[in-house]
Amino acid sequence: MLQHRIPIRIFLTFLVILALVVSISAQTGIAAITWYSGGEAKLTLETIPADTSSSVILAGSTSQKILLVTVAKKNGPTRTNPIPLATDGSFNVRYLIKDGIGTYTITFSGSEQSGSLKYQGLGYFTIAVKKKLPGNLLGLELNNKVIEFVDRVMGTTVGHGECWDLAQQALDQNLADWTRPTTFGLPLNPETTEIKAGDIIQFRNLKITEHLPGGVTKWETFGAPDHTAIVYKVLGKKHYTLAHQNIGGKRSVIKGDVNLAKVTGGKYWIYRPVALMIPQ
């Protein structure tokens, strides 16, 4: 009998351990990653819990110069944004799922060339979100960070010196939620919403006419057809100091005032920059 009891005890112990592992796995879950050809050699991901929260930690390292993440909700919207990389290719961000309860496919793609517009798919996984993102994270403002970026680059040329480059880098470096080319965040109504330093303005063939003392008339135009600027300081209702570049023939970041209460033609839109990812 002794010869049979030892194997049985070992077997029973194994069943208990197996049941415990299965129970833990069922509770925590691990998102299964599907790799595209060659993707596993170019991207390393830390374990991603397949939980039901409204955010997901994306951490790991890559040999790519640019890493993009695309988050697509089943029968819903798709967002594609760059993930900031450290000098050694590592990254660690908390991605905020902003489009509500549902099933999401999260895909990574990358490029070995900085500034490239062509990307290779690396891998993807699917998660089920069963909780809505809390309101304090849904509209987490980045205005102060945008102004800090502007202060760092004031007087220099950002990117290729285009007006759009300033907003693009300010938003991407601060992990903002925005849609290229010109939806820079949450749309604002300047008639009813307080505009803040750090908000972003998109102009379209805008004309401003001001009648100054002494019978002098001043005309200004913003956008031929488009121009992008960042509100640097609020001087009054619809009256702002802007930070922008590629204005008046200057391709470096400068400041200048604008009075949008004097608009006589064209259009403009104002956006509030908000977070999509949070550095960990």
pLDDT by residue (tens digit) across 162-201?
Answer: 999 999 999 999 999 999 999 999 999 999 999 999 999 9
C-alpha to C-alpha distance for 118 and 66, rounded to whole angstroms:
10
Q: E strands of 14-119, at which residues?
A: 34-35, 43-45, 55-62, 66-73, 78-82, 90-96, 102-111
**Is the predicted pLDDT of residue 19 greater than 50, yes or no?**
no
Q: What is the mean pLDDT of the chain?
A: 88
Give the DSSP H or E segment for 209: strand 200-212
Structural domains of the chain ordered from first start: 34-138 (2.60.40.10), 143-279 (3.90.1720)
**Is the predicted pLDDT of residue 155 greater than 80, yes or no?**
yes
**Is the predicted pLDDT of residue 122 greater than 60, yes or no?**
yes
pLDDT score, position 214: 78
DSSP tag of 154? T
pLDDT score, position 52: 66
- Give the pTM: 0.82
Give the pLDDT band of residue 45 (cuts 50, 70, 90).
Answer: very high
C-alpha to C-alpha distance for 247 and 249, rounded to whole angstroms:
5
C-alpha to C-alpha distance for 52 and 158, rounded to whole angstroms:
40
